[in-house]
Amino acid sequence: MTETITRFAPSPTGRLHLGHAHAALFAHGAARQAGGRFILRIEDIDTGRCRPEFTDAILDDLAWLGLTWDGAVRRQSRHWDDYRAALDRLAAAGLLYPCFCSRKEIEAEIAAAGRAPHDGDGPLYPGTCRRMDPGRRAERLATGAAYALRLDSAAALARTGPLVWHDREQGKVAARPERFGDVVLARKDTPTSYHLAVTVDDALQGVTLVTRGRDLFAATDLHRLLQALLDLPVPDYHHHRLLTDSDGRRLAKRDRALTLGALRASGLAPAEVRAMAGWR
Ligand code: GLU
């Protein structure tokens, strides 16, 4: 049987809160229970919002909670080449195109079309730059205009056919990556995206069980598509519950009183905070 490898992959955009503690303890517990390995990855590709001092605080908070991780901590911002290689491969397969659109231009195009397909989060990209005349595209590239790289989702799906993945609670799930449309895989300001980096890293780090909150359930459909396109192994998934505040709202950065920093400063012991995060 293969060894179970789980991971916790926070973004250092602030202090961890109880919801993060729940996720970290979940992943840690799943690995330890299976006699496997638990790894830690810092998802700091968004260099505008991530801060090294938050990375330090994350490591400190997790150690304070009593967590131990195996091997070196991977910091995504030190691995641009890995994401570049994945992009090159998708580009070589003809599955990417440069998108020069600004947010405003996309909104205007959608408004002009009357409506656009929706993914629940917002309207999908209307495909403006996918339809761009090749000569015009070459001209824009030659001017050095900034561009994002988008996945040609119809071409990608035609290549892979229907895909499934497995969730430990939901069982077999039929992937619907089309709900993301022509998703951005490299941003204008960052040479990758969350979706690409997380999929590449889970494979590179040998993660066999991805545990994370249910808010990322739909994202797994897209990650499954990227795995198929990049010939990556498919881990098992467990999307766990999200902690909520007394009004039933999911915990977020706004809940400052529930950061591990604030809870530690209030004099609580690690065992008490673990219990608040739903673990003994
Ligand atoms: N970095 C993501 C976050 O902090 C988590 C990614 C994942 O678990 O797949 O929300």
User: What letters, b where the CB count within 10 A reaches 16 and e where it falls short, cover 85-106?
Assistant: ebbeebeeeebbbbbbbeeeeb
Instruction: Check residue 92 and give its pLDDT.
Output: 98
Residues 6+ apart with CB under 8 A from 2: 208
Instruction: Check residue 9 and give its pLDDT.
Output: 98
Instruction: Check residue 121 and give its pLDDT.
Output: 65
11 Cα to the center of ligand 1, angstroms: 7
9 Cα to the center of ligand 1, angstroms: 5
Instruction: Check residue 118 and give its pLDDT.
Output: 60
Instruction: Check residue 253 and give its pLDDT.
Output: 67
Instruction: Check residue 244 and give its pLDDT.
Output: 85
Residue 174 belongs to a domain: no
Structural domains of the chain, count: 1
Residue 151 belongs to a domain: no
Residue 1 belongs to a domain: yes
Instruction: Check residue 267 and give its pLDDT.
Output: 97
For ligand 1, pick from 15, 74, 194, 238 the residue to mutate: most ligand atoms within 8 Å of CB: 194
Pocket of ligand 1 (CB under 6 A): 9-11, 43, 198, 212, 216
User: For residue 36, what are the domain limits?
Assistant: 1-78+243-280
Residue 20 belongs to a domain: yes
